[in-house]
Chain A
Amino acid sequence: MSLSETSLFQVAKRQYLYKFKACSPLLFALAVVQVLTILTAQGGTSSASTGGSGITVSVYSYSSNLVIANTILWAFFAGFICTTQTTKSIDFAYVSNRLSSNISSIGFLLTAGIAGGVLATLSGTLIRVMVFFKLGSKNIAPENFFVPPQDLLLGCLAAILYITLSSSIGYFVGTLIQVSKAFIVLLPLFLVLAMRLSLGTLIDAVTKENSLLLFAIKVLAISVLLVWSSALLSNRLEVRR
C-alpha cells in the first residue's frame, strides 16, 4: 500500500511527459523524413513538356502530398514503436497500470499526430518559398501558389486525422505482435484477404469522404476502436515481460 494516493490522471500525465521526453527521437525522425522528402522533391513531382516553333515549355508540378504520405508512414512506425518492450518499459518508471499506460500512449500518439499533421502541411509553404527563390515569380503559375489560410487550416486538420489514424493502426499492429509473434506472418495474410473482401470499401469510405465532419467522425471512430482493442489485448499481457 502506498502512503500517497495518486489519481489515474496524474499517473497517466506523468507517464505521458516521460514518454514524450524518451520518444523525442521519433520527432527527430519526423523532421528527417520531412526534410528528406522536401529536398528530393525539389525538382517537382511530375513534369510535362511541349515544344514547337523554337520553344519548349516544361511544367513541373509541386505539392506536399509526398511529405504528408511519408508522415503517415512515420506515424505508423511511431504507433508501432509505442508498443515495443523498450518503450513499454518506460511505463515502469512509475507505479502504474495498463490503463494509465494506454492513456499516456494515446496522448503521445495524439501529440505526434498533431505535430506530424501541422508540420507536413506547413512543409507546403516551405516548398513554395524555396521554388519562389529558385525559379522566380515569372516562372510560377499563380494558381494554388498562395494558399488561403482556411485551406491551410483545413489541410492541417485533415492531415492530423490521417496521421492519427495511421498511428492508431501502427499501435494496434504493434499490440497484436506483442500478444503473439505469429501475427508477423498472419497480419500480411489477413491484409491480402481483407483487400479481396471489403477493406477497399472501408478505405474508400475514409479517403473519398467529402465532408470534413463525417471524415473526422469516421477516422476518430476507427482510431478509438483500434486503440480500445489494443488496450483490451494489452490487459491480457503479463504486467512485465
Chain B
Amino acid sequence: MNTVLFPGLLIVLVLLLLAALGSLTLKRGGFPATNFLTLKNLRWVFAVYTIVLLLSMAVLYNLPQVGFSGSTRFPVASVDLFGAARTGKLEQTPGVFAKGKWSFDYGAGQLEIAREPEIMIWAQRKDTEDGKLEVGFYLAKTSLEGVDYTDKIESPSVELSGSRLTVKNASHYQIKLAKFTPDFTVSQFSGGASEQIVGSSSLPGVLFLRFPKNVNIDNRQSGILFVSQ
C-alpha cells in the first residue's frame, strides 16, 4: 500500500476513534456503560492485552535464530555480469556461474530466434564450424534488501525446432519478504536514520548463445546483442 496514504489514513482513523471515545466520555459524564463496557471489563481487556504483549516478548526471544532468509550478507553488484557477457568472458569471471546449459546440433544456414520480450540474449559467433549451438543461462549472486534469492531464479526454457530457437521465461515465481526497521524511538539515538538494506533490483541473469561460424542470425532483431569479435 502507498507508504504515505496508509499511515495517514490510519492516523485519521485513530483520531476519529479517540474523538468518539472522548465525546462519549464528556457527554455522558463518564464512559458509556453497557453490559460489556463496565469498568471491570475494560480493565480486563487492558490486562489481557498487556499479558499478550509480554508473552509475545517471551516468544520472540525464544524463536530459533536459524532459517532466516539471506542470513549471510554479501556485497551486491560486485560482479559485472553484463560487462562479462559483453566481452564473452562469462565462464572466466569469478562469481558467475551457469544455472542452465543446453547444446543443440545445428548445421549451417539461417537461425531464427523467438524470445519473450523481457529476455535479453547475448550472442557470440564461434571461430569454428563445429555444428553446435551452445546456450547458457548465467547468474551472479543476486540479492534484494540483503536477501539472497539466487537459488529461487529459474532458467528459461530453450528449445530448438528446425531452424527456430525458442526461448521462454520460466514460470513466474513470487517471493514475499518481510523486513523490519528499527523504531524511530531507537534509531534517533543509535546513529540517526534507520538502516537501509541495500539490494540489487536489476535483471538477475544473462542468456548467452554461442553459434558456429557458418550460422547466420538476423542482427536486426531487437533484444539480441552480439559480442564483438
Contact = CB atoms under 8 A, between A and B. Distances in A.
Interface in B175-192: 175-186, 188-192
A155 B26 CA distance: 33
A40 interface: yes
Interface of A: 21-22, 24-25, 27-37, 40-41, 43-48, 50, 52-66, 68-70, 73-74, 77, 80-81, 84, 86, 119, 121-126, 128-129, 131-132, 135, 137-147, 151-152, 154-155, 158-159, 162, 207-212, 215
A34 B156 CA distance: 47
A159 B195 CA distance: 19
A37 B172 contact: no
Contacts of A22: 30
A49 B173 CA distance: 13
Given A27-B42, A27-B46, A212-B189, A122 B57 contact: yes
B17 A32 contact: yes
Interface string B10-36: 110111011001100110011100000
Given A60-B177, A210-B188, A215-B188, 6 more contacts: A25-B21, A81-B25, A126-B56, A129-B63, A138-B69, A143-B197
Nearest to B41: A28
B18 A33 contact: yes
Given A46-B3, A68-B183, A123-B53, A210 B46 contact: no
Contacts of B37: 25
A241 B191 CA distance: 51
A83 to B, nearest CB: 11
Contacts of B94: none
Contacts of B68: 137-138, 140-142, 145
B173 A154 contact: no
A129 B178 CA distance: 12
B22 A141 contact: no
Nearest to A67: B183
B67 interface: yes
Chain B: number of interface residues, binned into ranges = 35 or more
B174 A58 contact: yes
A55 B172 CA distance: 6
B185 A55 contact: no
Interface in B196-224: 197, 201-205
A119 B53 contact: yes
Contact of B178 (A36, A52, A62, A126): A62
Interface of B: 1, 3, 6-7, 10-11, 13-15, 17-18, 21-22, 25-26, 29-31, 37, 39, 42-43, 45-46, 49-50, 52-54, 56-57, 59-61, 63-71, 118-119, 144-147, 149, 152-154, 156, 169-186, 188-192, 194-195, 197, 201-205
Main secondary structure of the interface of A (DSSP, over half): helix
A193 B35 CA distance: 47
Given A41-B10, A73-B18, A215 B189 contact: yes
Nearest to A207: B188
A185 B135 CA distance: 75
A210 B188 CA distance: 6
Nearest to A156: B185
B188 A209 contact: yes
Contacts of A52: 118, 202-204
A56 B172 CA distance: 8
B169 A53 contact: yes
B153 A54 contact: yes
A43 B1 contact: yes
A132 B69 CA distance: 12
A203 to B, nearest CB: 13
Contacts of B21: 25, 29, 77
B7 to A, nearest CB: 6
B139 to A, nearest CB: 9
B70 A141 contact: yes
A135 B178 contact: yes
Contacts of B192: 210
B177 A28 contact: no
Contacts of A81: 22, 25-26
Contacts of A125: 53, 56-57, 59-60
A31 B17 CA distance: 12
Contact of B46 (A31, A137, A158): A31
Contact of A53 (B25, B39, B205): B205
